[in-house]
Structure 1
Amino acid sequence: MTFWHRLTAKPDLAKTLNADHQLARTLTTRDLIALGIGAVIGTGIFILPGTVAATTSGPAITLAFVLAAVVCSLAAMCYAEFASALPVAGSAYAYGNIVFGQVFGWIIGWALILEYMLAVAAVSTSFAAYFASLLSGFGLQLPQALSGAFDPPHGTYLNLVAVLVVLIIGFMLSRGMTTSMKVNRAMVVVKLAIIALFVIVGAFYIRPLNWQPYLPFGAKGVLAGASLVFFAYLGFDAVSASAPEVKNPQKTLPRGIIGTLVIATVLYVAVAVVLTGIVSYTRLDVADPVSFALAAIHQPQLGGIIAIGALAGMFTMMVTMIYSSSRLVYAIGRDGLLPKWFGKVVHQLPLNALWTVTLIIAIMGGLVPLTQLVNLVNIGTLIAFAFVSLGIIPLRRHAQIANPGFKVPGYPVVPILSFLFCLLLMSQLSRETWLMSGVWFALGMCVYFAYGFRHQPQD
């Protein structure tokens, strides 16, 4: 076998489809939608509209959300077809491995590790900021040394709350999916009720003058904003990671993926309209913009309620992402590209992968500043989306894959458009983001050739 053939070797399809039989199929349609909504409706609702409006898009943040949703909807349909055709653990990593070959699957998997783990680390720091804001309402505060990422000149050494919340979620997921989904569903209901409360109350305080000028940064600001608020839509792709633990995945996975995106878009636009309507966009570059906006209109009691909703939203987002990243690492270990230890299943759960992911995220969230994380999450997401979009073409041509379930309409135009949109948004990311991601992928290729390439299964 030549070097190139080894790089592009594809797994045995039958073995791959049966590889996850040890995992328990317990997730229902309701659980899947709760996972998707729990992941997507979190950071995007309570954090990004303010900072992106203030620095990038202005009141046209609403257009940025719609543009990002259009791009996401194309990618979502591609994910839905893959999930229907290949209900296996690993999401886009597994899809790429099957239709493109091993090295491409590894690149996608490495991008997804970047997306999922950094997303949770970033959100854990925002969770800590909201938690500190809530404590301050009761006249309490954590010691400064334990209130932020490692930054000795400013007196902070560890973000204790960020570390603890990640460890708590890891423990909860290790107790099994049934209990975890009950907690997740309850928090999703609380979060949606509080979002509705903000939109209804805030609508009475809208001042249309705050929307002027609507495009202070021009059309380029909308495009750049769309590339940033992509972070807000993280979640629908993570739903596909649950495939081997879902009942009737061919039907429930496409419904969960597409339904999540539709609901998320409506809520994001509604919140962005109200937020930029009640406070000038120039004042929204803060860690907790929704609570800040309510304080500005003299509704501090509602601000406290919103803080609780923000905490619930970020908690459910972290649940989905820690869950998804653990299944991703499990799948890569299962295939031998990481040590088989990661692919071991204990009590119908990939506990080794789960606790490894949890500890890494806890360390990152406790020590690394948020500002150095968000854009890297976006590029990891866009790379995975691009591969999945393009992958629909070889998927349709794969002689062994019969897909009686969901198929992307408008084939092949829609997958190609999705791929091109992903490239367009990637072009809007900063040079620093590309440089840092280049370092990440160089490290990934070193890991691949040091271990995965040498340990790949030989048929």
Structure 2
Amino acid sequence: MTTKDISKSILRRKPIDDIEEENLHSGLFKSLGLWQLTAIGVGGIIGVGIFSLAGLVAHGSESEPGVGPAVLFSFLIAGLASAAAALSYAEFAGMIPRAGSAYTYGYVALGEIIGWFIGWDLLLEYIAIVAVVAIGISGYFDAFLSGIGIHMPAWMTATPDEGTGGIINVPAIAICLLVTWILSRGTKTFGRFELVAVGIKVVLILFIIGLGIFYINTENYNPFMPSGFGPVVAGAATVFFAVFGYDAMSTAAEEAKDGKKHMPKAIIMSLIIAMLLYVAATLVLTGMQNYQDIDPKAGFASAFTSVGLPVVATIISVFAVLSIMTVMLTFLLGCTRVWFSMSRDGLLPGWFAKTDSRGTPQRVTWIAGVASALLAGVFPIKAVADLTNIGILAAFVVVCFSVIVFRYKKPDAPRTFRLPLMPLVPAFGVLASGFLMLQLHWETWLRFGVWLVIGLVIYFGYGRKHSLMNPDSPRHEEAVEMHRHVG
């Protein structure tokens, strides 16, 4: 095959007209309404960002200084960049209600190789998100047990890199496996659990904010930005993890009752709700306790303990575990649906795309769940969070760029939502996301690069040859038969 042929094959685009036909035979059940989708989005956005990362960035770590109360600005910077991407996702979701999310958007607008890289990227990042959230829950679980007089051995509550005598994070592993089991019960069961758990989460955060206001000491706001603006921007790259759950929610588009109508609304609503709660919560956290004394693993538990409310701290620890689990469920769902979509397209073996009687891809659900458990058990939260962020930021760059390309290449394609100020908004998303990527440590870039190289080998060794878009693919007849059947 010539270089020209290879170039043509890797840049082939999935026709948007094929999407609806594939959705009819996906094996996934349509059971999610607008409020369930919004709950999934809020469930994915709000969680470890408030309960763990806000305290971590405010307090600082061995490698980075604490930003203090200016952590509020870190969230606002991350939220502004995320908003541009959210509008881009909303436009695509209204056109292409398909399980692959950013993977599919890149495939349709920019070609197969770009779609592959984003899909491969998201598999790692979503697994890493589940792991980092499990680590955050583990911190609150340990705080809860300590509050009732039970102290777990140090070796089983942290990893060696955290310098606390830890060997493996057993609670984090157990939580990953529990969430995997819940998701394996089917989307309908998951949707109901998510709606109830997100409701509990929002009530908990409103309770924290409402009670915490009475214990704010304004002296804790001075200095407001103790380390300067540079660490605030670097902090935005870390907390970016906390402002993009809507992208994982968009992977459930095929399971929405009316994806074209409801997905754009759910994406925008979930981000607005989350950002309002983030702003209020960070002000309360850094007002209650001096940023230098905040526990980076269980910020609000330590804040309420510091003002003489250990019982409240224990209550927060209990409900934080339940509420943060919704983040894990959302992103584990996202990982399995991207994996399912790539396998259905032939870029990964079709064995992964098999669903059970409940419409659940059990194989990828358990593989992804076990992988996240292993990652949570041996890596510290900062390393996993940064690995997550670089991948999502890369996906945001592609989606924002893709929406510009597709608006001009397919201006007449049906759109239930059109993002405003084209192309300024998505162009800002590209620049902002790229800038935040540059704030991450070189080790994060190295890990990311190694993962992409592995993906490149798999794509050229398997994916390009077996793609349903390849006329010589062993599975090409499968696509032809599907189109014939629908026609």
Q: Pick one of 411, 418, 438 that aligns with 1:427.
A: 438
| Pair 1:54 & 2:59 matched | yes
Summarize deviations over 1:7-39 as a string: whole Å, max 9, x none: 111224333332232211100111101101111
1:7 aligns to 2:18 (yes or no): no
Structure 2 unaligned residues grouped into runs of 5+: 61-65, 472-487
Question: What is the aligned partner in structure 1 of residue 37 from structure 2?
Answer: 32
Letter in 2 for 1:52: V
Q: Does the 8 A contact of 1:116 with 1:321 survive in 2?
A: yes
Q: How far, CA to CA, are the matches of 1:281 and 1:172 in structure 2?
A: 36
What's the offset of the Cα at 1:145? 4.3
- Further displaced range: 50-59 or 398-407: 398-407
**After alignment, is 146-155 or 62-71 more displaced?**
146-155
Q: Structure 2 counterpart of 1:345, which letter?
A: T
Is 1:224 paired with 2:234?
yes
SS of structure 2 residue aligned to 1:46: helix
Secondary structure of 1:2's partner? helix
RMSD over aligned CA atoms reads: 1.9
Cα distance in 1 for residues equivalent to 2:170 and 2:147:
19
Distance 1:320 1:152, change over 3 A: closer
Cα deviation for residue 166 of structure 1 reads 1.7
Partner residue of 1:271 out of 263, 276, 281: 281
Q: Within 5 Å, give how 1:75-94 maps onto structure 2.
A: 75-94=85-104
TM-score, length-normalised on structure 2?
0.90
**Secondary structure in structure 2 of the residue aligned to 1:26:** coil
Q: 1:450 corresponds to which residue?
A: 461
Distance 1:221 1:353 in 2: 38
Q: Is the 8 A contact 1:150 1:366 kept in 2?
A: no
1:104 is the counterpart of 2:100: no
Counterpart-to-counterpart distance in 2, 1:333 and 1:264: 32
> Structure 1 regions of 5+ residues with no counterpart?
none
Give the fraction of aligned pairs with identical amino acids, expressed as a percent. Answer: 36
8 Å CA contact 2:19–2:96 kept in 1: the answer is: no
SS class of match (1:406) = coil
Q: Cα deviation per residue 1:102-122 (whole Å; 9 max; x = unaligned)? A: 110011112212221101111
**1:366 and 2:377 are equivalent in the alignment:** yes
Determine the C-alpha separation between the residues in 2 that align with 1:345 and 1:13. 24
**Alignment CA distance shift 1:446-1:401 (3 Å):** farther
Q: How do 1:331-370 and structure 2 match up within 5 A?
A: 331-347=341-357, 348-370=359-381
2:253 to 243, 250, 255: 243
Q: Which moved more, 1:95-104 or 1:153-162?
A: 153-162
Mapped pair 1:20 → 2:23: yes
Q: Specify whether residues 147 and 58 from structure 1 end up closer, same or farther in structure 2 by C-alpha distance, changes over 3 A only.
A: closer
SS state at 2:67 partner: helix
- Greater mean deviation of Cα atoms: 12-21 or 186-195: 12-21
Between stretches 323-332 and 18-27, larger displacement belongs to 18-27
Distance in 1 of aligned mates of 2:57 and 2:234: 9
Query: What is the correspondence of 1:270-309 to structure 2 with a 5 Å cutoff?
Result: 270-309=280-319
1:155-208 superposed Cα distances (whole Å, 9 cap, x missing partner): 644322222222222222222122222222221121111111111111111111
8 A Cα contact 2:161 2:379, kept in partner: no
Supply the AA of the counterpart residue of 2:230.
K
Q: Which amino acid in 2 is paired with 1:57?
A: V
Shift of residue 278, structure 1, vs aligned partner: 1.2
Which stretch shows the higher mean deviation, 410-419 or 280-289? Answer: 280-289
**Which region of structure 1 is more displaced relative to structure 2, 14-23 or 152-161?**
152-161
Query: Does structure 1 retain, via aligned residues, the 8 Å contact 2:16–2:96?
Result: no
Q: Post-superposition shift, 1:151?
A: 7.2
Report Cα offsets for 1:250-295 as digits up to 9, x if no partner.
1211111111110111101101001111111122252111100111
CA distance in structure 2 between the aligned counterparts of 1:66 and 1:189, rounded to whole angstroms: 24
Report how far residue 384 of structure 1 moved. 0.3
Say yes or no: does 1:66 pair with 2:76: yes
Aligned pair count?
A: 459
1:368 to partner: Cα distance: 2.5
Report the Cα offset of residue 400 of structure 1.
Answer: 9.2
TM-score under structure 1 length normalisation:
0.95
Aligned partners of 1:70 and 1:315: how far apart in 2?
A: 25
Structure 2: which amino acid aligns with 1:93?
Y
AA of the residue aligned to 1:284? I
Cα distance, 1:355 vs. partner? 1.6
2: distance between equivalents of 1:345 and 1:183?
Answer: 21
Post-superposition offset of 1:64: 1.5
Q: Partners of 2:163 and 2:431 in 1: how far apart?
A: 44
Q: Does the Cα contact within 8 Å between 1:144 and 1:155 map onto a contact in 2? A: yes
